[in-house]
Amino acid sequence: MRGGLLRALKFLGRRLVNLLLLLFVLSLVTFSLLYVTNSDPARTLAGAKKVSPEQLAAIRAQYHLDEPLWQQYVRWANNLLHGDFGVSIRTQLPVGQMIGQRAWITLALAVMALAIALIIGLPLGILAARRNGRWQDRLVTALAVAGLSAPSFAIGLLLLYVLSVQLGWFPIYGLGDGGFADAIWHLLLPSITLAIGLIASVVKISRASLIKQIDTDYTLFARSRGVSRRTILLAQLRNAALPIVTSSGLLIATLVSGTVIVETTFSIGGLGTLLQSSVTFKDIPTVQAITMIMATIICVATAIVDALAALIDPRLRSRTISANSRAGLISNDQNSNDQLADNADRTNVTSSTQTTATTNDRAQEVTR
């Protein structure tokens, strides 16, 4: 029990260190946006208006551009950690205030799209896997390929024209003015547009994962023992959950990036629309803040997904720690080729033994 807790803590510690390092690198890249757009950062921060040399000097003093670069980065990162994103060049409003007014729109859009994708995608993936090779499988797979291939803006324009303009089932654009419920109704069609690509991904992943479980030895053993189909299916779904959970990090990244296109298509005033307009007008502080927020959301979500995957399958923690330990041993004794070969043989034998034991355990569990 104590050894398992230590392995879990080591695993979470490594993931936390990797997360912090990744966020540090992303902050460096985001901070450098100020210097890649123009040779003079002060002129970039001045926007499109004409400014005098005195105004440029005032901007340099306001943003501390005369200080060394590393001091500018430390000051910017410290303000970022305290929620101070600066002032928008275009509107002269605090960037944090602008983001706070729009963040709930993007969050509601992403949550609705993810819920639609899981509610529709998982049953279709299970259906395709259980009807593998039949017409149901071919139909679902073809629809999934079409959903993955079609760009979000094309799907949005098509749904907008058919369901809103021609049939009048949904609002055409905006969030309405009838309160929260009316805003959710206006977000339904954009959520469906954003969810179509996610549904296709969920179908492909769940189908492949479940087919792999159907073809395993423990499934054949359970069937030969007369175990009910419902019990076997539940065991297969439980074992197939790991790839689905792992891939959910990619789904979140797709959600974050897809909101920009969908919000622009449907004229929704969320963070995606704010980012697009800020890039157009070279509003660097706003671009930096939104980019950093979206990158942080993706990184944190990926870390949480890794932790959940390790919680579902504790073998991932043991494999990660064992792989790091073997890597350290190999780096300390690179000249011993015989020892490396012996270690490789032992690893293969151990892996084969563990695979056989895992198959037998799963079969006995399903039988029980």
Share the mean pLDDT of the chain.
Answer: 75
Per-residue pLDDT tens over the stretch 76-96: 888 888 888 888 877 778 888
By the 10 Å C-beta count (0-12 exposed, 13-18 middle, 19+ buried), 206 is classed as buried
Diameter of the chain by CA atoms? 86
Asked if residues 11 and 308 have their Cβ atoms less than 8 Å apart, the reply is: no
pTM of the model: 0.72
**Other residues' Cβ atoms within 10 Å of the Cβ of residue 194:** 29
Identify which has the larger pLDDT, 55 or 335.
Answer: 55
Task: Give the distance from CA 115 to its chain's centroid.
Answer: 15
Res 297: pLDDT: 84
Average pLDDT on 290-299 reads 85
Sign (positive or negative) of CA dihedral 55, 57, 61, 67: positive
By the 10 Å C-beta count (0-12 exposed, 13-18 middle, 19+ buried), 340 is classed as middle
Res 292: pLDDT: 87
Res 5: pLDDT: 60
């990926």: which residue's tokens? 302
Token pair belonging to 234:
């539940």
Q: Where are the alpha helices (DSSP H) in the chain?
A: 2-31, 33-36, 41-46, 53-62, 69-81, 95-130, 135-149, 152-159, 180-214, 217-224, 229-265, 271-280, 284-312, 315-332, 337-367
The candidate with the shortest Cα–Cα distance to 106, out of 40, 27, 194, is 194
Per-residue pLDDT tens over the stretch 167-186: 888 887 777 776 777 778 88
Asked if residues 322 and 329 have their Cβ atoms less than 8 Å apart, the reply is: no
Res 201: pLDDT: 85
Average pLDDT on 60-75 reads 77
Greatest mean pLDDT range, 148-157, 199-208, 315-324:
199-208
Res 2: pLDDT: 59
